[in-house]
Amino acid sequence: MSNVGIVIVSHSPLVAEGTADMVRQMVGDEVPLAWCGGNGHGGLGTNVEAIMGAIDKAWSEAGVAILVDLGGAETNSEMAVEMIGEPRAQKIIVCNAPIVEGAVMAATESSGGASLKEVVATAHELSPS
């Protein structure tokens, strides 16, 4: 059985890469992982095509959880999932949780064989009430 993939989407490529580095150090190569950030011109922002590429890189039949930092990242991630379409879109969830802590905890759950629903629930537990 494959583990749930994790995608990290941040407006800052440095934040996305740093978060991915933390995840990799915590869980090794057991979890499919990809990140993207920035607007493609060296500035802050997110890009739907880059998000789609990250989803492809982290793809797992167990599903993919996308961790986002701000509203624009969430909106562009939702657009990317819509553009990917069915049947894969059914296995992708955009998770609006604290990006660093959420990614680390989601990946830890994934590495233990948790389902997509369990991985996302663990990340959401970190969100303020």
Confidence of residue 1 (pLDDT cuts 50, 70, 90): low
- Per-residue model confidence as pLDDT tens digits over 67-83: 999 889 999 999 999 99
- Catalytic residue (choose from 11, 15, 34, 120): 11
Sign of CA dihedral 27, 15, 43, 95: positive
- Per-residue model confidence as pLDDT tens digits over 93-118: 999 899 999 999 999 999 999 999 99
What pTM did the predictor assign?
A: 0.96
Concerning whether 11 is annotated as a catalytic residue, the answer is yes
Fold classified for 5-124: Rossmann fold (3.40.50)
